[in-house]
């Protein structure tokens, strides 16, 4: 199965994608995580994209599309895209790529989120520097402050989770990514879940939609 999870920054895409990918045996392709790994490893790609992530603006389409094409090429079974596509140009490039390989998108899941609530969520987000597990000091605190429950790694705040950068990211989302909702609603199987609900409720509703898609295949 090939799925896309859409939503504004902080909507819960990463949290839910990890659970869905594990449950359905899908490759989790998260463009933000891929870029952060490249930056941490100080690769040429990491150096090229670092300033975009720091400032909360989008990495140029050509760079993102090339990276995702490489990742999709490595996937023999299904995938779940988290954070891609983010512009109409990226969505069209993905459609072209899939068409040439005779593949399709089975479902687009949209986490609809009150953007006013996002700021509080993101400034309290923490992630494990070793395994990437996500936490939140309010909604999902670790058992021991600053330590990952899973691997004991150090919990860190993302550089782009400062209030001014979050506001910038939300503006970029409104301008460049929100139009994708109409694009996918009209052309693909599209389902919406209220991302303001507790995590388990969001997961349950997403799972119900994916199960429906599985039956329909
Ligand atoms: P990326 O890493 O993709 O960031 P994002 O899309 O802005 O999304 P986030 O990771 O901030 O949020 P999320 O929706 O995953 O929420 P999460 O589950 O963590 O991109 C970063 C940057 O990379 C971009 O700004 C850009 O520069 C570049 N980039 C990436 N992709 C690109 C592309 N395609 N094109 C161009 N540039 C690209 O949850 C947030 C917090 O809330 C966590 O603490 C979590 O525990 C908590 N939480 C989650 N769900 C709930 C809930 N239901 N209730 C309460 N708390 C919750």
Q: Is 2-113+163-216 a domain of CATH 3.40.50.12780?
A: no
Cβ of 193 closer than 6 Å to ligand 1, yes or no, is no
- Is 169 catalytic? The answer is yes
The confidence band for 82, taking pLDDT boundaries of 50, 70 and 90, is very high
- Is 125 catalytic? The answer is yes
Token representation of residue 123: 């400034």
> For 111-159, how does the pLDDT look when each residue is reduced to its tens digit (9 = 90+)?
999 877 899 999 999 999 999 999 999 999 999 999 999 999 999 999 9
Mutational test site, ligand 1, from 8, 9, 45, max ligand atoms within 8 Å of CB = 9
pLDDT of 26 reads 96
Cβ of 173 closer than 6 Å to ligand 1, yes or no, is no
What span, in angstroms and rounded, lies between the C-alpha atoms of 201 and 40?
A: 34
Whether residue 187 is predicted with pLDDT greater than 90 in this model: the reply is no
Cβ of 14 closer than 6 Å to ligand 1, yes or no, is yes
Mutational test site, ligand 1, from 13, 83, 158, max ligand atoms within 8 Å of CB = 83
Cβ of 11 closer than 6 Å to ligand 1, yes or no, is yes
pTM across the whole model: 0.95
Distance 15 CA to ligand 1 centre (A): 9
What span, in angstroms and rounded, lies between the C-alpha atoms of 23 and 206?
A: 11
What span, in angstroms and rounded, lies between the C-alpha atoms of 69 and 183?
A: 21
pLDDT of 215 reads 81
CB 161 within 8 A of CB 79: no
Cβ of 68 closer than 6 Å to ligand 1, yes or no, is no
Instruction: Kindly state the helix (H) or strand (E) to which residue 27 belongs, with its residue range.
Output: strand 27-30
Query: How many H-runs (helices) and E-runs (strands) does the chain carry?
Result: 9, 8
Which atom of ligand 1 lies at the shortest distance from residue 158's CA?
11
pLDDT of 213 reads 84
Distance 11 CA to ligand 1 centre (A): 7
- Is 13 catalytic? The answer is yes
> For 4-48, how does the pLDDT look when each residue is reduced to its tens digit (9 = 90+)?
999 999 999 999 999 999 999 999 999 999 999 999 999 999 999
């Amino acid at each position: 199965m090939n799925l896309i999870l859409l939503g504004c920054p902080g909507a819960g895409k990463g949290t839910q994608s990890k659970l869905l990918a594990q449950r359905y045996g899908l490759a989790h392709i998260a463009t933000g995580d891929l870029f952060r790994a490249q930056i941490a490893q100080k690769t040429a790609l990491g150096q090229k994209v670092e300033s975009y992530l720091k400032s909360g603006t989008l990495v140029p389409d050509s760079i993102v599309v090339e990276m995702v094409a490489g990742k999709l090429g490595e996937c023999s079974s299904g995938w779940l895209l988290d954070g891609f596509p983010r512009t109409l140009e990226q969505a069209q490039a993905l459609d072209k790529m899939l068409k040439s390989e005779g593949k399709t998108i089975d479902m687009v899941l949209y986490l609809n989120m009150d953007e006013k609530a996002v700021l509080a969520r993101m400034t309290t987000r923490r992630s494990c520097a070793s395994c990437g597990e996500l936490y939140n000091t309010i909604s999902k605190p670790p058992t021991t402050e600053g330590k990952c429950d899973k691997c004991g790694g150090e919990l860190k705040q993302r550089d782009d989770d400062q209030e001014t950068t979050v506001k910038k990211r939300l503006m970029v989302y409104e301008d460049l990514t929100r139009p994708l909702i109409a694009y996918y609603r009209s052309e693909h199987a599209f389902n919406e879940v209220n991302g303001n609900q507790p995590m388990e409720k969001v997961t349950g509703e997403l799972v119900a939609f994916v199960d429906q898609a599985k039956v329909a295949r």
